[in-house]
Every structure is written in C-alpha cells, then in structure tokens.
C-alpha cells in the first residue's frame, strides 16, 4: 500500500518536472523570440562577406522563422544538453554553466545548510527555554534579516569579508535562517502544546528528551519541507549576493545576461534553476511521504480521495 502510494507520488513528481521543462522551454523560447535582437545577425553588416555568403547566413537563419520548428529545435537542444549560444559572452551556454554552476551549488549548499542549522537550533532553544522573552534575540535578529534586502545583507558581509571568509555563504545563511526559524518555531510550539507532550512532561521525562523525542521528531516531516523552500529562497538571493560579493556563479551570470539582454543565456539559467528547485522540492515531498505516509496522503489528492 505504502509502496504503491510512493510510486504514485514519484510518478507525479516526475510528471511535474517534465511538464515544467516542457513549459519552461516553450516560455523560454517565446521570450528569446520576442527579445530584442532576435533574427538579427551582425555578420550581415560585415562588408567583406560576398552576396552569396550573406544569402547563406540569411537562409541559415530563415529556419528560425518557423515558430513550430524553432520550438522543436529549442526543446530538442535542451534535451541533448545544447543550451544555445551566449551572444554577449560569445560562448556556448553549456560551457558557461559548467564553469559557474559548481561554485553556486557549493555556496548554496553551505548557505542552506547553515541557515537551516541556525534556524532549527534557535527554534529548538526558544521552545526548550520557555521563559518570558526567551525569543527576543532570535526574533529581533530574524526580523532584521527579513526586513533587509539580500543585497544589503551581502554588503554587510562584504565589509566584514577579511574576518569571516566567504561572504556569499554567510549572506545566503542569513537570508535562509529567518524563514526557517519562524516556521520551525511555530511548528515546534504547536507540537509542544499537544496532549502527548503534556503527558510526557507529566510522567517526569527530562525536558531535553521531551523536546527531542516528543516535539522535534513528530514535527520533523513538516520541517523537511523547509529544504525545498530554502533552496528556492537561496537561488533567488544568489543573484544580488553573487553580484555584490563578486562571486563568479550562476547568479552573477544571470545578472550580466540581464544587463547585456542576452536572453538565450538568461532563459536557460532560469529554466535550469527552476528545474533544480523542483527536483529538491520533489525529493523533500517524497521524503515526507516516506517519513509520514499520513502527511503524504493529506497532500496527495488521489490518496485523499
């Protein structure tokens, strides 16, 4: 029963990802077509080219005028790892991605892990130490981080750069942490007020044991969903943070592409980032279904029916 539910869940996630790639690819191709400069080739202005050469260039480009074939070739290219050609950097997009993606992934990995760890630790501490005003410091800190643009957080870490090392990782950590802290705190507080926790406390269990075994563990599946949200947040924040910290990653590449209006590059990055976010979200959903099948059923409409 659980295996079939899980299979349905996995197939739903795979369908969702495939649909995103398809629609994202179509949307991207449309944006590229609508973008300024589409259908214009600066080689036509090269006076050294003969009339025959210019005609050859025009006929080579003419196949892009057919919308259906353009979309088809664009999607086929995506499937085969051909992400197009960056006009501004004069290099294949796949090459640029290969260079810059690892840096962003590492930076995001540290940032997300740091943000989740700090957020969860502070939430646990707040719930455990339930004295009046115990949450003032984390609440103020999270409020400040939530009220600051990611770019300003990056600036602060850039100024502190010599003392703290990789500024972009710290900045992403501080972008992710307040969201994790607030959600986790609410979840843990709600769980800590449930009857089984009161019963555990009444039986004289130590506060740490109650917190770990009876508050944190039951709330863990819901907290797993934070991984997906955190990755999405971190990707969004990576643009201003990488630009400010001068980190040569995907975010900085997207910003350059936007300034140079290099739509093939920008659209490919957007679709790729959406895909990565979806994969992480899907993994979190599947993990949730594995850890708590009842939770999985709650958000799986078929199972709920």
Partner 1 sequence: MKLKQPIALVVLAVAVAASLGAGWLAHHSYADQSREFISAPPSAEFWLGTDELGRDRFARLLYGTRVSLLLAPAAALLSTLIAALIGGAAGFLGGRWERIVTAGVDLFLSLPWLFLLLAVRALLPLNTPPVTSVTITFLLLGCLGWAAPARIIRAGTRTLVNSDYLVQASASGISRWRLFWRHLLPNLRPILLAQFWISVPVFILSEANLGLLGLGVSEPLPSWGAMLRELENYSTVLRNPWMLAPAVLLVVVVSCLQLLLRTEESAPC
Enumerate binding residues for partner 1 (CB under 8 A).
16, 19-20, 23-24, 31, 34-36, 143-144, 146-152, 155, 158-159, 232, 235-237, 239-240, 243-244, 254-255, 257-259, 261-263, 266-267, 269-270, 273-274, 277-278, 281
Minimum distance from CB of 261 to partner 1 (Å)? 5
Minimum distance from CB of 177 to partner 1 (Å)? 16
- Centroid of chain to Cα 205: 40
**211 or 252: CB nearest partner 1:** 252
Q: How far apart are CA 40 and CA 262, in angstroms?
A: 13
Minimum distance from CB of 253 to partner 1 (Å)? 11
Minimum distance from CB of 158 to partner 1 (Å)? 7
With a CB cutoff of 8 Å and minimum separation 6, the contacts of 215 are 127, 188, 191, 192, 197
DSSP secondary-structure letter at 92? Answer: E
**216 or 264: CB nearest partner 1:** 264
**226 or 257: CB nearest partner 1:** 257
Q: What is the CA radius of gyration of the chain?
A: 25
**171 or 200: CB nearest partner 1:** 171
On whether the CB atoms of residues 234 and 108 are closer than 8 A, the answer is yes
Classify residue 134 as exposed, middle or buried by CB count within 10 Å of its CB (0-12, 13-18, 19+). middle
H/E element, 149: none
Indicate the SS3 state at residue 91. Answer: strand
**210 or 281: CB nearest partner 1:** 281
């Amino acid at each position: 029963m659980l295996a079939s539910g899980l299979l349905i869940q996995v197939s739903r996630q795979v369908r969702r990802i495939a649909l995103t790639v398809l629609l994202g690819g179509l949307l991207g191709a449309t944006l590229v077509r609508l973008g300024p400069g589409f259908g214009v080739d600066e080689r036509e202005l090269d006076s050294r080219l003969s009339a025959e050469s210019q005609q050859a260039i025009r006929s080579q480009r003419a196949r892009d005028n057919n919308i259906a074939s353009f979309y088809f070739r664009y999607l086929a290219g995506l499937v085969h790892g051909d992400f197009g050609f960056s006009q501004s950097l004069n290099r294949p997009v796949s090459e640029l991605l290969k260079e810059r993606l690892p840096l962003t992934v590492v930076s995001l990995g540290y940032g997300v892990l740091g943000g989740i760890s700090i957020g969860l630790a502070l939430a646990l501490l707040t719930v455990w130490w339930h004295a009046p005003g115990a949450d003032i410091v984390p609440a103020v800190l999270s409020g400040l981080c939530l009220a600051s643009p990611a770019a300003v957080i990056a600036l602060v870490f850039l100024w502190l750069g010599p003392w703290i090392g990789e500024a972009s990782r710290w900045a992403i950590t501080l972008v992710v942490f307040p969201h994790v802290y607030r959600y986790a705190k609410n979840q843990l507080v709600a769980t800590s007020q449930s009857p089984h926790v009161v019963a555990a406390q009444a039986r004289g269990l130590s506060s740490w044991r109650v917190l770990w075994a009876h508050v944190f563990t039951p709330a863990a599946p819901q907290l797993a969903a934070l991984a997906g949200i955190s990755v999405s947040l971190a990707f969004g924040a990576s643009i201003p943070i990488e630009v400010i910290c001068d980190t040569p990653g995907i975010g900085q590449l997207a910003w350059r592409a936007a300034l140079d209006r290099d739509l093939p590059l920008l659209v490919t990055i957007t679709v790729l980032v959406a895909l990565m976010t979806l994969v992480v979200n899907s993994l979190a959903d599947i993990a949730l279904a594995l850890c708590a099948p009842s939770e999985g059923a709650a958000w799986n409409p078929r199972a709920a029916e």
